Structure 1
Amino acid sequence: MVWLAQDMEESRYVAVKVGFTWLVESRPREISVMKLLREHPLSNHPGKNHVVELLEYFVHDGSNGSHACIVTDQLGGHVGMALSDFDSENPVPYQNGRKISIQALQALDYLHQQGVMHGDVHSRNLVFALTYNIDDHTGVDIETKNQRGNESNEPDEKYTHDDRISISEGGTANVSVILIELGASSSSANGPSNEYAYPIPYRAPEVPMDTGSVTDKADIWVLGGEIWRIVIFVGQLGPVPESLRTAWLDSECHLTSDGLLKNSFPEDERELPIAEEFINYKPKGLSRDETTAFAEFMGHYFQF
């Protein structure tokens, strides 16, 4: 749960992520990773401004137990919410999708350069930076707005979603995304973790197969799926290679000897591989050279 709070010493609003009592033991890993990023920043890396920054942390002892609390800047709504208005028939405007994808890649590369595996990459953990100064609002302003929502028996009007951020044909000047939620992360400093939280449809094969060799490449696979979703839609990947089939103990239950699914899902029964599908259904505004480059780029992303 994340609360909007006011830092009385700094006279500004912040976000406070309050952990559940039964997760208090897992928070030190998250805090450790965030402290690592704060204490050893790569100042010249373009991804630095696209990863959530730790401001402070503390433990709150309440009536139900202890809660680990993490303080960060206040941010806006998540990319997944913005994408809900689009589909393959009405795709995200290319320039917006391109900018979001680049910033997400920069953020993930920043973590990997620091030896950090995110472990929970998906569109709901990519949020928009606010385009206005929330500190211009008084506590009375926010209380009044929330009370108005309560009186009409509707959810509180949240300042977490900046309605000035839009995904449209009109340009990308106000689009800046931040990669958040390091609760499932791990680093070379504190050792690997098996507490992955990737969305099931986007997980790299080695995660559900439990091959024992999950690395930060799993982050790359998942982000590749999200970028494909942002820019167009998901296509088929082809047969699972022998190296993965051998490592997967249950492979014979699910795969043929050629590495194909024995019982495919309807959404997997497509006629074209990724590159051809993208070329045939590319978004508006994509040049021939960019189309070829993107198809090749995604091909590398989805290699088994």
Structure 2
Amino acid sequence: MPRFETIHGIVEPVEGYRLGGYHPVHLGDTLDGRYEVIGKLAFGQSCTVWLAKDQDDHQVALKILKADVSEASRELSTLLRLSAPGADHPGQNHVIQLLDHFHHDGPNGTHLCLVFPAMISNGEAMTIRGKPREAEYVRNISKQILLGLDLLHAADIAHCDLQPASILFTVAGLTQNELLLQPPELSTVKWLEGVEADSSAPEYLVASQIRRGELDDADASTLLVRIGDLGGAISSRNRDTVPVAPSALRAPELIHGEPWDKTIDIWALGCLIFELATNEPLFPLGTFGLGKDQIDREHSRLINQLLGDEKRTREHFTRYLRDRLPTDFGGEDLWLLVSFLLSMLQIEPKKRLSVEKLLSHPFLMGVVDG
């Protein structure tokens, strides 16, 4: 039963503030006696993410999980596994690092809180303005994402939720306290008439304060890219679990309910790199007002239309990609990028190249390891 007036801004669902739901946060709150909330970064179905400063005035990202998902969350164990002492892998710097974790008791239950380095932007914010992307930019970010994914796959972990919002960007060598946010946009929480107000909801919700286009003019060679949001990651021991992946980035085997493995990440990566390169989704899938079967049929149609004809796929895909890249992208780079993406976007999972082989693809030649 609804308890609040509907809020139409781009914020988390206000009805998510209930027993077992989101923890109510206000700007200026302090959690665990040492993390002061200074801004809103993001929200998801299972969490809110805030910019905070610690006791040394260093900025961090504070992810607060809903109470009803905190106990069963695999994210903490995955992060601890990846950061175990002695781990030595070139992808270590390209997966988000866990700095701290704690549990917080609030009016809606006990919440797992994860602390990460603050990053300037994410892939979703980077594609909003449609800035043309040069080949060097695509090469550089692709190499870093692949190194991070190689770390996950080497640990037999599938990310399962690769999408623009889970790819985090900052500038290498950036000192603390340099993440600038937009002024807060507050939406007042209003209780419905006849509903008794309590402490389960905050006084207001805050829209994301991440500045869009903040890194548009950054030198591609200075960007540091990390894979984040490991809440949906699944190890080989839990392959009976159905991945919760964004509809338009699901591999064909997920659409059809078939057995899957970590090659679903390879398919999603092909879709992701296409979007980061062109600022457009590979499969522009409308979902509003449609049932799951309708969405699945339309998704399959789009995949088959672009990739289903083996004789014409390369020619068709090349034209489709070229029309969405800047005119000065370069002919040779275009051909290499087509080859690179098509080695991931194989309808049959066994035909997709592994991360290890993708890292040696000619498109990435000349990129220095990060």
What TM-score does the superposition give when structure 2 sets the normalisation length? 0.61
* 3-state SS, counterpart of residue 16 of structure 1: strand
* Residues 1:290 and 2:333 are matched in the alignment: yes
Rate the CA distance shift 1:194–1:223 in 2: closer, same or farther, 3 A.
same
1:30 aligned partner: 75
Select the residue among 26, 48, 70 that pairs with 2:114: 70
1:114 aligned partner: 155
Rate the CA distance shift 1:199–1:85 in 2: closer, same or farther, 3 A.
same
User: Aligned partner of 2:83: which letter?
Assistant: R
Do 1:117 and 1:185's aligned partners in 2 also have CA atoms closer than 8 Å? yes
Do 1:127 and 1:180's aligned partners in 2 also have CA atoms closer than 8 Å? yes
* RMSD value, Cα: 3.8
Select the residue among 43, 54, 58 that pairs with 2:98: 54
CA drift of 1:36 comes to 0.4
Which runs of structure 2 are paired with 1:44-193 in the superposition (5 Å)? 44-45=89-90, 47-86=91-130, 91-129=132-170, 132-135=174-177, 158=209, 161=211, 165-168=214-217, 171-188=219-236, 191-192=238-239
Do 2:51 and 2:118's aligned partners in 1 also have CA atoms closer than 8 Å? yes
1:43 aligned partner: 88
Rate the CA distance shift 1:155–1:66 in 2: closer, same or farther, 3 A.
closer
Rate the CA distance shift 1:284–1:133 in 2: closer, same or farther, 3 A.
same
Rate the CA distance shift 1:65–1:96 in 2: closer, same or farther, 3 A.
same
1:206 aligned partner: 253
Select the residue among 216, 219, 227 that pairs with 2:273: 227
1:241 aligned partner: none
Percent identity, aligned pairs only, is 23
User: Aligned partner of 1:124: which letter?
Assistant: A
User: Aligned partner of 1:96: which letter?
Assistant: Y
User: Aligned partner of 2:162: which letter?
Assistant: V
Spell out, residue by residue over 1:214-238, the C-alpha distance to the aligned partner (whole angstroms, 9 max, x if none). 21110110110111122245669xx
Q: Which runs of 5+ in 2 are unaligned?
A: 1-47, 187-203, 284-292, 348-370
Which is strand-richer, 1 or 2?
A: 2
CA drift of 1:288 comes to 4.0
* 3-state SS, counterpart of residue 207 of structure 1: helix
User: Aligned partner of 2:151: which letter?
Assistant: Y
Aligned equivalents of 1:268, 1:167: Cα separation in 2: 33
Rate the CA distance shift 1:182–1:21 in 2: closer, same or farther, 3 A.
same
CA drift of 1:208 comes to 2.1
Rate the CA distance shift 1:68–1:114 in 2: closer, same or farther, 3 A.
same
User: Aligned partner of 1:191: which letter?
Assistant: N
* 3-state SS, counterpart of residue 273 of structure 1: helix
Aligned equivalents of 2:247, 2:336: Cα separation in 1: 28
1:243 aligned partner: none
Rate the CA distance shift 1:23–1:94 in 2: closer, same or farther, 3 A.
same
* Residues 1:277 and 2:292 are matched in the alignment: no
Aligned equivalents of 2:303, 2:333: Cα separation in 1: 30
User: Aligned partner of 1:56: which letter?
Assistant: D
* 3-state SS, counterpart of residue 216 of structure 2: coil
Aligned equivalents of 1:133, 1:102: Cα separation in 2: 24
1:239 aligned partner: none
2:65 aligned partner: 19
Do 2:270 and 2:341's aligned partners in 1 also have CA atoms closer than 8 Å? yes
Do 2:64 and 2:112's aligned partners in 1 also have CA atoms closer than 8 Å? yes
CA drift of 1:2 comes to 1.3
User: Aligned partner of 2:342: which letter?
Assistant: G
**Matched length:** 265
Aligned equivalents of 2:103, 2:155: Cα separation in 1: 26
Aligned equivalents of 1:161, 1:130: Cα separation in 2: 15
User: Aligned partner of 2:141: which letter?
Assistant: I
Do 1:275 and 1:299's aligned partners in 2 also have CA atoms closer than 8 Å? no
What TM-score does the superposition give when structure 1 sets the normalisation length? 0.72
Spell out, residue by residue over 1:175-201, the C-alpha distance to the aligned partner (whole angstroms, 9 max, x if none). 22211000000224x533625232111
